[in-house]
Structures are given as C-alpha cells and as structure tokens.
Amino acid sequence: MESFYVTTPIFYINDVPSVGHVYPLTICDGLARLNRLRGKKTFFLTGLDENSVKTIAAAKKAGVESVQEYADEMAEKWVSTWRKLEYSNDDFIRTTQERHKSVVRDFFDKVYKKGDIYKGVYEGLYCEGCEAFVRESDLEDGNCALHLKPPKALKEQNYFFKLSKYQEQILEHIEKNPLFIQPASRRREIINFIKEGLDDTSISRPANGWGIPLPIDEKQVIWVWFDALINYLQPKEFWPADAHVVGKDIARFHCITWIGMLLSAAIELPKSILAHGFFTVNGQKMSKSLGNAIDPNYLAGKYGVDAIKYFVFREIPFGEDGDFSEKELKNRLNTELVANWSNLFYRSTSFGQKLFGKLPGPKAEGGEEKKLVAKIALTKAQVDELVDKNEFHHALEKIMELSSEGNKFFQDKKPWELRENAEDAVFYAVNVAANVSLLMAPFTPSASKTALDSLGVVNPPWGLAGTLFVKPGTPLAPVMLFKKI
C-alpha cells in the first residue's frame, strides 16, 4: 500500500495554543484525511518542543517549582485543545519523552562519528524569543522582526555542527528538485540565503538542569533546535516524510539545518517542505508574546470546529499571510457553509423525504441534467489538481461553485410547483449535495460524515466523488449541517 507521512512543527509549551498554532495543524489534518480517503497508509505526526529555555522561564513565572511538572500540565492543555478540535493525528510526540531522547542520542552519535561536530566559541546575536542565533541582516531597526525586541550579544563556548560542509549539497538538492520547497517564493528566499554562505551552527548550550545532556560533554545540553528536528524520525517505517508543514519563520531550520543534519547522518531527505504564511492581526504575526493571540477553544465553542477548519483553508492562499478576522469567519460560515452547502443538503433531502420517503430515480437526463453531471465530474478533477498544488482556497471555491449549481438547478426545477419535475430535482440535487459532502470531507470532516451517514454512505472512498453515487431507493433523513450565527 502506498504511504503518506505528514508532520507539523512541534510547538513551545511556554503558553497555551492560539489560532496561529491551529493553522498548520489544520493543514496537516486535511492532508492526512485526504490521503486516507485516497486509500494511502497515512501517518500524521504532531507534538511539543519542551527542551527549551522558554520552558524554564515559563515554569518560574507560573510559580511551578518542577519544570517537568509544568511541562506535564501544559502538555495536557495542548492535547485537550487538539482533541477538542478533532484532529486526526496518529501520534503526539513530546521531546521530554525517553523515546525521543533515545533517537536524539543515536542521531548525535552518527553525526559525531562522521567528524561533523567540534568545540568552539560562539560570539554574536541571539534572539531569546526565537531561541536562535541571528544575523544583523535579519533585524529590522535593530529588532527581531517577529518578536520586536533587540537580540542579545552573546559569547559562549559551545559545540558546533559543520553545516558549511554541506552547503553545496543542500543547494544542489534544492535546485534540482523544484517542488522540494514550496511555495516557489520561499524556495527562492532559501536559495538566496544559502548562496550568501552558510556558517557552522551551534548545537549546544551550557547545561542549566533542563534539556538533553550532550553525550560527549555533561556540562552542555543539546540546543533545542538540533534536538527538536529529530522528532520527525520517530515513525521509522514512514520515513522519509512526504510533507513537513512549517511556518515561514522556521523554514531556514527545516530547509537548511535539518537537511545538512540528515546528509551528515546519511539519512534519506524528506520529499517536500511546505512553508505556510501567518495568521496576522493588524498586519502583525499572531503570537502570545505580542498579546494578539486568539483562543481556539473560544472559537470552537462559538462557531464549531468545522467552521474554523473551513476558514483556515478558504481564507488564506497557502504560503501567504492573511489577517484573521472573526467577522470574516462568521461571514464564511453564514454565506457559504449555511446558505450554500447546508441549504442545498437540507432542502433537497427534506423535500425528497416529504414527497417520496426515499431517493427517487430520475425520469430523464436532459440538457440541464447532463450539464450538472458534467459539472460534478469536472469539480472532482479540479479539486484533485488544486489540492495537489496546495491551492486549498481554490479547491474549496470550486466545491462551493458546485453547491451553488445544485441550488440553482433545484430552484429552476421548481418541484413544489411542477410535480413532473420533482423526481429529477430531488435525485440530481441530492447527488450534488452528496458530492459536495464527500469533497469537503478532508476540510470539514464532522459535517461531511453527518451528511454522508444520513444517506447511508459510510466511509466512502475518495474515488466515489465525481459520480452519481447515491442510488435510487436510498432512505432520506434530512439534517441541518450548520446553523447561522
């Protein structure tokens, strides 16, 4: 069986999740669900990055004496949020788990034996928010562009990874594989950065009682970024990953540092790295440190999980930034999910139930019917093409257009006035609604399941979409998929 492996970034636990964190989870969840529907053996990995200096500071601020106790408490908050949002991840990694530490030690040993680790002194700028060393060229008015604070000048003795040794190999791989880094704009940025010249990167920090001890020096711990990236190797049978989904702010670590590490350890490279943009508020990245984060639990309670997921895919072209607006979330819910899809599903099934009890067979296939059947098949083909190019917003646009066509067809037939049109109106409109529900399944899984289950179509394969798969004689059980806010 063909497999598919997708990963999210793993997140710092110095605060609770926000809508900004929901974005990559939702993208990965949709990709995982799509590939399961396509019949692939799928693995979806997410988790938490806990071996961070931020974790120590957050525990101290919270008045929790044990850093591990704080990490455990925060991990439960993240897990419960992801559970509430009904993500379908197959595993949840925590970098404080022994299974992760074991993989890190084995990986470090390979790179060390390769001769790619040495002791040296780092002197330069360090952003505590990013937990990363930065160049002056990365700053805006002397501040980190993401955290709006100046980095600290730092000088300390660390161990280094010979990243510069792999500069040409990394560049060659990216240039020979145009789809390795997506979107193309991010790929160009990474190529230009590499051509400026790569420095060797520090992979340890002085020991502070937290983190994974450096196997060759107990006075040092492994730097959080070197440690965190190795989490992706956990499901050995699925490696290499088909898609690392990451934020554009950490793309350099995944597209450069991680690739150099894998080359050193002689491990196969991932197939693609998809760098998404940010949810912004008034043009600034949404984050707790800037005080503009929004609680996804609040949104899920008010609008429903599927509405949030739909908004994420529909609102922002993948790879670009987009301003988050609760007003626009409400608008998408009311005008597209309620007035379009839910309306088509409910009116066609309820009218059919009232008149026939079961789905009637069509009386004829005239010009309007043939046009609608062609539209169903075309939409399935378009959605396949668009999702494979990560153009999720356009894929959903095409699905909503199909739903609109179904509503128009039903309205034009006027089965409440012209009884002779009733069978055709119900049969074709219900099949359009069913196709919309199946095509929406990766993006709005709960509502899609409710719709298809009500038609007796349980766990349908993706290949059914594009056909008139709801057959005459099917019992009709009307359900309201979404409610207007």
Which CATH number fits the domain 326-464, given the four candidates 3.60.20.10, 1.10.730.10, 3.30.930.10, 3.20.20.70? 1.10.730.10
In the chain (485 residues long), the average pLDDT of successive 10-residue segments reads 96 90 96 98 97 92 94 96 97 97 98 97 74 73 76 84 98 98 96 96 92 96 94 97 96 97 98 92 68 87 97 93 89 98 98 96 89 98 97 98 98 88 96 98 98 96 98 97 96
Helices within 114-162 (DSSP H only): none
Write b or e for each residue in 126-141: b if 16 or more Cβ atoms lie within 10 A of its Cβ, otherwise e: bbebbbbbeeeebeee
CA 246, CA 299: separation in Å to the nearest integer? 23
Q: Which of 192, 189, 78, 53 is nearest to 131 (CA)?
A: 53
Angle at 310 between CA 243 and CA 411, to 5 degrees: 130
- What residues contact residue 473 under an 8 Å CB cut-off, 6+ apart? 358, 359, 361
Q: What is the pTM for the complete model shown? A: 0.92
Q: Tell the residue number behind the tokens 């120590």, with chain if given.
A: 56
CATH class for the region spanning 3-323: alpha beta
CA 351, CA 343: separation in Å to the nearest integer? 12
CA 324, CA 20: separation in Å to the nearest integer? 9
Portions of the chain given CATH number 1.10.730.10: 326-464
Residue 282 has what pLDDT?
A: 64
Helices within 92-246 (DSSP H only): 98-113, 167-176, 184-195, 224-229
Q: Which of 290, 314, 255, 185 is nearest to 9 (CA)?
A: 255
SS3 content of the chain, % helix, strand, coil (to 5): 50, 15, 30
Spell out where 29-114 has E strands. 41-49, 91-94
Portions of the chain given CATH number 3.40.50.620: 3-323
In terms of phi and psi (left: phi > 0; alpha: psi -120 to 50; beta: otherwise), the region of 342 is: alpha
Crossing angle (nearest 10°) for helices 422-439 and 343-356? 140
Residue 450 has what pLDDT?
A: 98
Instruction: Judge contact between 400 and 440, C-beta under 8 A.
Output: no
What six digits make up the tokens of 384? 């396949």
Residue 289 has what pLDDT?
A: 66
